[in-house]
């Protein structure tokens, strides 16, 4: 770990038991939503976490915030020089740390209480955690963060139904940031918005990051969205990481066949480059029944016998470039 590490995850596992009786009267198995992940998030960066629906990326975000309990591994968080083992802290103690770790939800329609005014929605984390000495201080902080999120202060007395999707997402962002967090998980935070509004919200998140020295884990299924905001990108598939690299490097020269397939689906602006999306066969496997060996072998166009029998190691291929593929070097020049 380096001095600029904010979060370090080692061997993270999140398994969910399947209800019902198995063949011999035992449990019916488990869903391996996250299965042995190592990840480091640096202060002030945006780490993009991408993958298809069902890859486990949302579960990683929730495990880091302790919104779901991890089954194994460690999650360490550094705050004001103190190292906190998040899996070891009790529920009550965790409530105290929550103000430093926040979540911006995907759906700005569903995540706002329709019976609360915008002022009360934004003030909720301050009041719930007793972070202010007076109502006046709450109001000041609500107005300050609302202004930073470019909300009209006249609108604080209104109810969420009066607002568009983009404005509602600004309210969600203000609510997440009002407690001065260090770390924010943005879970598909622009996916429900129109493309033009997506750009506005991404720009706002980037501005707020600079102003408030925030660190983001930006979860998305759409790589083109991540390209706008991430410093580094991690690619996830059936509960495991396939590749992790600086964003520019990953977009210019992906090493893993799965990353290549995801990138091929982004339309090119350059008319000289042909647009040939690579269609992967079949569906993403069920995490309750993961394939043997490399999890991607059932859809990988380069799979061989070794891939079916032996799980590839998570290994370093460049200064900050990690890949899980037996044949990554050999496949570098293949499309």
Distance (Å, whole) CA 260 – CA 35:
22
The residue among 126, 220, 228 whose CA lies nearest residue 177 is 126
Q: Which residues contact 69 (CB under 8 A, 6 or more apart)?
A: 14, 63
| Piece in contact with ligand SF4 (CB under 6 A), picked from 44-52, 155-163, 165-173, 290-298 | 290-298
Q: Supply φ then ψ for residue 263, to 5 degrees.
A: -70, -35
**With contacts defined by CB under 6 A, how many residues of the chain interact with ligand SF4?**
12
Distance (Å, whole) CA 19 – CA 21:
7
Q: How far is the CB of 38 from ligand SF4 (least distance, A)?
A: 18
Q: How far is the CB of 335 from ligand SF4 (least distance, A)?
A: 14
Distance (Å, whole) CA 26 – CA 301:
37
**146 vs 325, beta carbon nearer ligand SF4:** 325
**149 vs 325, beta carbon nearer ligand SF4:** 325
Binding ligand SF4 (rule: CB under 6 A), the pick from 15, 77, 105, 296 is 296
**Residue 255 touching ligand SF4 (CB under 6 A):** no
**148 vs 256, beta carbon nearer ligand SF4:** 256
**Residue 312 touching ligand SF4 (CB under 6 A):** yes
**238 vs 294, beta carbon nearer ligand SF4:** 294
**Residue 326 touching ligand SF4 (CB under 6 A):** yes
**Residue 239 touching ligand SF4 (CB under 6 A):** no
**Residue 300 touching ligand SF4 (CB under 6 A):** yes
3-class DSSP state of 195? helix
H or E element, residue 206: helix 195-212
Q: How far is the CB of 157 from ligand SF4 (least distance, A)?
A: 55
**13 vs 302, beta carbon nearer ligand SF4:** 302
Binding ligand SF4 (rule: CB under 6 A), the pick from 7, 226, 230, 303 is 303
183-187: strand order across its sheet: 101-104, 183-187, 215-220, 46-50, 232-237, 240-246, 321-323, 315-318
**Residue 302 touching ligand SF4 (CB under 6 A):** yes
Strand 240-246 to strand 30-42: parallel, antiparallel, or no bridges (unpaired)? Answer: unpaired
**Residue 138 touching ligand SF4 (CB under 6 A):** no
Q: Supply φ then ψ for residue 193, to 5 degrees.
A: -105, 155
**Residue 168 touching ligand SF4 (CB under 6 A):** no
Distance (Å, whole) CA 248 – CA 227:
8
Pick out residues in 18-57 that bind ligand SF4 (CB under 6 A): none
**19 vs 313, beta carbon nearer ligand SF4:** 313
One DSSP character per residue, 25-92 reads SSB--EEEEEEEEEEEEETT-EEEEE--TTSSHHHHHHHHTTSS--SEEEEEEEETTEEEETTTS-HH
**Residue 322 touching ligand SF4 (CB under 6 A):** no
**Residue 217 touching ligand SF4 (CB under 6 A):** no
Residues that bind ligand SF4 (CB under 6 A): 257, 294, 296-297, 300, 302-303, 307, 312, 325-327
């Amino acid at each position: 770990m380096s001095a600029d590490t904010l979060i370090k995850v080692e061997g993270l596992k999140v398994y969910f038991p399947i209800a019902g009786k198995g063949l011999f009267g035992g449990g019916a198995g488990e869903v391996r939503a996250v299965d042995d992940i190592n990840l480091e998030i640096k202060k002030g960066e945006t780490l993009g976490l991408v993958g298809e629906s069902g890859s486990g990326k949302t579960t990683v975000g929730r495990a880091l915030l302790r919104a779901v309990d991890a089954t194994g591994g460690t999650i360490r968080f550094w705050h004001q020089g103190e190292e906190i083992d998040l899996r070891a802290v009790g529920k009550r103690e965790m409530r105290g740390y929550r103000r430093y770790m926040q979540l911006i939800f995907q759906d700005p329609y569903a995540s706002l209480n329709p019976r609360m005014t915008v002022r009360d929605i934004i003030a909720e984390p301050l009041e719930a955690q007793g972070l202010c000495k007076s109502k006046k201080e709450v109001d000041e902080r609500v107005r300050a963060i609302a202004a930073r999120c470019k909300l009209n202060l006249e609108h604080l007395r209104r109810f969420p139904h009066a607002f568009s999707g983009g404005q509602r997402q600004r309210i969600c962002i203000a609510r997440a940031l009002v407690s001065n967090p260090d770390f924010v998980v943005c879970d598909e935070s622009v996916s429900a918005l129109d493309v033009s509004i997506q750009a506005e919200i991404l720009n706002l998140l980037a501005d707020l990051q600079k102003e408030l020295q925030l660190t983001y884990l930006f979860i998305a299924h759409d790589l083109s969205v991540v390209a706008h905001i991430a410093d580094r990108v991690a690619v996830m598939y059936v509960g495991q990481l396939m590749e992790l690299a600086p964003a520019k490097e990953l977009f210019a020269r992906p090493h893993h066949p799965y990353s290549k397939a995801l990138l091929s689906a982004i339309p090119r602006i350059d008319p000289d480059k042909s647009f040939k999306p690579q269609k992967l066969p079949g569906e993403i496997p069920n995490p309750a029944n993961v394939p043997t060996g490399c999890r991607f072998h059932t859809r990988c166009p380069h799979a061989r016998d070794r891939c079916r029998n032996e799980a590839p190691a998570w290994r370093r291929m460049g200064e900050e470039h990690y890949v899980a593929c037996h044949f990554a070097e050999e496949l570098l020049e293949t499309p």
